[in-house]
Structure 1
Amino acid sequence: MNRFVLPLAATLILAACAQTPSSTPPAVEQTAPSNIIFMIGDGMGSNYLTAYRYFLAEGKHQQIKPTIYDQLWTGMSSTWPDDQTLVTDSAASATALATGFKSFNGAISVDQQHVPIGTMMQQAKRLGKANGIVASSQINHATPAAFLAHNKSRRNMDAIADQYFDIRINGQLVPDVMFGGGLTHFIRDDRNLVSEFQAEGYQYADSWQQLKQLNQMPALALLAENGLPYVLNQEMESPLQIMTEKALELLAGHPHGFVLMVEGSQIDWCGHANDIACAMAEMHDFARAIQSAKAFVDANPDTLLIITADHETGGLALAADGIYEWRADLIYGVQFTVREITRRMMELEQAELADQWRHWTGLTLSDEQRMAVLAVHDDKTELRNLLNGFINQATRTGWTTTGHTAADVPVLAYGKGAEQFTGFMDNIDIAKRLMQFIQSSASQ
Structure 2
Amino acid sequence: MRKLLTTLCLSVSISSAYATTNQDIGADNIIMVVADGMGPTYTTAYRYFQDNPETNKVETTIFDKYLVGTSSTYPAKMSGYVTDSAASATALSTGVKSYNGAIGVDVNKKPLLTVLEHAKTLNMKTGVVVTSQVNHATPASYLAHNESRKNYDAIANSYVDEKINNNVKFDVLLGGGWKYFIREDRNLVEELQQQGFQYVDKYDDLANLRVGKPALGLFADVGLPWALDDEKGRLANMTSHALRLLDNDKPFFMLVEASQVDWAGHSNDIAAALLEMADLDATMQVLEQFVAKNPNTTVILTADHSTGGVTLGVNGDYLWKPEIIHRMKHSPNFIAKQLSEEKLSKAKVNELFNFELTEEEIKAIFSKQDEVFADSELASWKKVRAIEKEIKEIIDVRTYTGWTTSGHTAVDVPVIAFGKHAAVFAGNQDNTDIAKKIFNLIDSTQQ
Q: Taking structure 1 as the reference length, what is the TM-score of the superposition? A: 0.89
1:221 equivalenced with 2:217 (yes/no): yes
CA, structure 1 residues 218+119, in 2 after alignment: closer, same or farther (shift >3 Å)? same
Q: What letter matches 2:185 in structure 1?
A: D
Deviation of 1:61 (Å): 6.8
Contact 1:108-1:152 within 8 A present in 2 as well: yes
Contact 1:13-1:117 within 8 A present in 2 as well: no
* Secondary structure of the structure 2 residue equivalent to 1:231: coil
Residues in 2 aligned to 1:370 and 1:116: alpha-carbon distance in whole angstroms: 54
The correspondence of residues 30-69 of structure 1 with structure 2, limited to 5 A, is 34-58=28-52, 63-69=57-63
Residues in 1 aligned to 2:298 and 2:357: alpha-carbon distance in whole angstroms: 49
**What is the match of residue 412 of structure 1?**
416
2:239 to 232, 239, 244: 244
Contact 1:58-1:329 within 8 A present in 2 as well: no
Contact 1:91-1:146 within 8 A present in 2 as well: yes
Contact 2:8-2:162 within 8 A present in 1 as well: no
Q: Identify which range, 53-62 or 267-276, moves more after superposition.
A: 53-62
1:209 equivalenced with 2:201 (yes/no): no
CA, structure 1 residues 403+291, in 2 after alignment: closer, same or farther (shift >3 Å)? same
Deviations for 1:373-429, whole angstroms, at most 9, x for unmatched residues?
Answer: 333215223322222111100110111111111111100010111111111001000
Deviation of 1:329 (Å): 1.3
Q: Identify which range, 146-155 or 170-179, moves more after superposition.
A: 170-179
Residues in 1 aligned to 2:268 and 2:176: alpha-carbon distance in whole angstroms: 23
The correspondence of residues 104-119 of structure 1 with structure 2, limited to 5 A, is 104-119=99-114
Deviation of 1:10 (Å): 5.3
The correspondence of residues 18-417 of structure 1 with structure 2, limited to 5 A, is 34-58=28-52, 63-82=57-76, 83-216=78-211, 217-234=213-230, 236-255=231-250, 257-349=251-343, 352=345, 354-377=346-369, 378-379=371-372, 380=383, 381-417=385-421
Residues in 2 aligned to 1:347 and 1:333: alpha-carbon distance in whole angstroms: 24
Residues in 2 aligned to 1:431 and 1:33: alpha-carbon distance in whole angstroms: 19
Deviation of 1:63 (Å): 3.6
Structure 1 residues without counterparts, runs of 5 or longer: 1-8, 16-31
Q: Identify which range, 224-233 or 57-66, moves more after superposition.
A: 57-66
Contact 1:334-1:361 within 8 A present in 2 as well: yes
Residues in 1 aligned to 2:110 and 2:181: alpha-carbon distance in whole angstroms: 25
RMSD over equivalenced CA pairs, Å: 2.0
Contact 1:129-1:254 within 8 A present in 2 as well: no
1:422 to 412, 423, 426: 426
Deviations for 1:305-362, whole angstroms, at most 9, x for unmatched residues?
Answer: 1100111011111111111000021221222211111112233436x1x333333335
Residues in 2 aligned to 1:382 and 1:194: alpha-carbon distance in whole angstroms: 36
Contact 1:320-1:396 within 8 A present in 2 as well: yes
Deviation of 1:11 (Å): 4.2
CA, structure 1 residues 338+95, in 2 after alignment: closer, same or farther (shift >3 Å)? same
Deviation of 1:93 (Å): 0.5
Contact 2:79-2:100 within 8 A present in 1 as well: no
Contact 2:114-2:142 within 8 A present in 1 as well: yes
Residues in 2 aligned to 1:11 and 1:382: alpha-carbon distance in whole angstroms: 46
- Report the number of matched residues: 416
Q: Identify which range, 426-435 or 171-180, moves more after superposition.
A: 171-180
Q: Taking structure 2 as the reference length, what is the TM-score of the superposition? A: 0.89
Contact 1:58-1:328 within 8 A present in 2 as well: no
Deviation of 1:212 (Å): 1.3
